[in-house]
C-alpha cells in the first residue's frame, strides 16, 4: 500500500494562540521543518507541504523539501491537502494521501507508518489513529476527542463515532483520537465535495462528515499521543521532547 502514498502536511500562518506557529523555532529549525522531518523519517513516500503562503514554502525548500502554495482562504486542512494534491499530482500517480497536521513535531514516524495498515482492507475508505487513554482527566476532557468503534483486532477499530463527550459508557478502555488521516484518493475527492454535516458542525469534528455520508473509517491503535503545539507552553514542551529524543 505504501508504494503510492503521498504525505501532505497542511500549514497556515494564522493562529490566534501562537502567531506564525509553523515558523516558530524548534531545536534549530522552524516547527514545520521538524514535522516534515518526521514524515520523511516515516519512509512511506514523498512528502509535500501545503502552505498558505510563500514564507512556509520557502522554509521547507531551504531545508531540501517540497512545498506548494495554496489559497490562504481555503476553509480546512482537508481542502488544503486536496488543492495541493491536484496541483502536485495531476497525473494521479498517488492513490493514497496521508494528511499529517503541521503542528505535530514530536509524532513518532512509526505512527505515520501505522496509519496505512487499515487500507490493506479494500473496504476501508479512510484510516486514522488513536491511543488508549491512560490519564483519568482525559476521559472527561472535551478537548480530547474520543474514537468510538467496534473492535476488529487488538490494534484496530472500525469507527462508529467520534466525540468530545466521554464515550462509550461503562467499563473498559477509551481511545484518544489522533488527527492523522490516510485517505484513498477517491475517498478524499468525495469527502471534500460533501457539504459540512449536522454532527460535524455540532461536535466541531470534520471526520463526522465522512461517517454521516456512509464512508468507512478504521482506526489503528498506537502507543502514544503526539503533542499538538498550540501555545507557547506547548512549544517549550516540544523542545524538551525533541532534545531528549536527540540524545537517545
Q: Cell for 201?
A: 458542525
DSSP the chain: -GGGEEEEEEE-S--SSSTTGGGSEETTEEHHHHHHHHHHHHTSS-EEEEESSHHHHHHHHHTT-EEEE--TT-SSHHHHHHHHHHHH-TT---SEEEE--TT-TT--HHHHHHTTGGGGSTT-SEEEEEEE--SGGGGG-TTSPEEEEEEEETTEEEEEEEESS--S-SSS--EEEEEEEEEEHHHHHHHHHSPPPHHHHHHT-THHHHHHTT--EEEEEES-PPPP--SHHHHHHHHHHHHHHHT-
Average pLDDT of 164-177?
97
Q: What is the pTM of this model?
A: 0.94
Predicted confidence band of residue 247 (pLDDT cuts 50, 70, 90): confident
Confidence at residue 19, expressed as pLDDT on a 0 to 100 scale: 84
Q: What is the pLDDT of residues 208-239, one digit of tens each?
A: 999 999 999 999 999 999 999 989 999 999 99
For residue 14, the model assigns a pLDDT of: 77
Give residue 6's pLDDT: 98
pLDDT of 18 > 90? The answer is no
- Provide the mean pLDDT of the chain: 95
Residue 2: pLDDT over 70: no
Q: What is the pLDDT of residues 104-154, one digit of tens each?
A: 999 999 999 999 999 999 999 999 999 999 999 999 999 999 999 999 999
pLDDT at 233: 93
Q: Is the pLDDT of residue 3 over 90?
A: no
> Distance (Å, rounded) from C-alpha 159 to C-alpha 215?
10
Joined grid coordinates for residue 49: 507541504
pLDDT at 1 exceeding the cut of 80: no
pLDDT in tens, 25-74: 999 999 999 999 999 999 999 999 999 999 999 999 999 999 999 999 99
Amino acid at each position: 500500500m505504501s508504494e503510492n502514498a503521498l504525505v501532505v502536511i497542511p500549514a497556515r500562518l494564522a493562529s490566534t494562540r501562537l502567531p506564525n506557529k509553523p515558523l516558530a523555532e524548534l531545536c534549530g529549525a522552524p516547527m514545520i521543518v521538524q514535522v516534515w522531518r518526521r514524515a520523511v523519517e516515516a519512509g512511506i513516500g514523498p512528502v509535500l507541504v501545503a502552505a498558505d503562503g510563500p514564507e512556509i514554502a520557502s522554509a521547507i525548500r531551504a531545508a531540501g523539501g517540497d512545498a506548494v502554495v495554496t489559497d490562504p482562504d481555503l476553509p480546512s486542512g482537508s481542502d488544503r491537502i486536496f488543492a495541493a494534491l491536484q496541483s502536485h499530482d495531476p497525473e494521479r500517480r498517488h492513490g493514497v494521501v496521508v494528511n499529517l497536521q503541521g503542528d505535530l513535531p514530536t509524532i513518532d514516524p512509526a505512527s505515520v507508518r501505522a496509519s496505512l495498515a487499515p487500507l490493506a482492507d479494500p473496504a476501508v475508505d479512510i484510516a486514522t489513529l488513536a491511543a488508549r487513554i491512560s490519564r483519568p482527566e482525559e476521559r472527561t476532557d472535551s478537548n480530547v476527542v474520543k474514537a468510538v468503534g467496534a473492535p476488529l483486532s487488538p490494534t484496530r477499530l472500525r469507527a462508529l463515532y467520534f466525540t468530545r463527550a466521554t464515550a462509550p459508557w461503562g467499563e473498559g478502555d477509551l481511545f484518544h483520537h489522533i488527527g492523522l488521516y490516510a485517505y484513498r484518493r477517491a475517498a478524499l475527492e468525495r469527502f471534500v465535495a460533501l457539504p459540512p454535516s449536522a454532527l460535524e458542525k455540532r461536535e466541531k469534528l470534520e471526520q463526522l462528515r465522512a461517517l454521516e455520508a456512509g464512508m468507512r473509517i478504521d482506526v489503528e491503535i498506537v502507543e502514544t499521543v503526539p503533542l499538538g503545539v498550540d501555545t507557547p507552553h506547548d512549544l517549550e514542551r516540544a523542545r524538551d521532547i525533541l532534545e531528549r529524543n536527540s540524545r537517545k
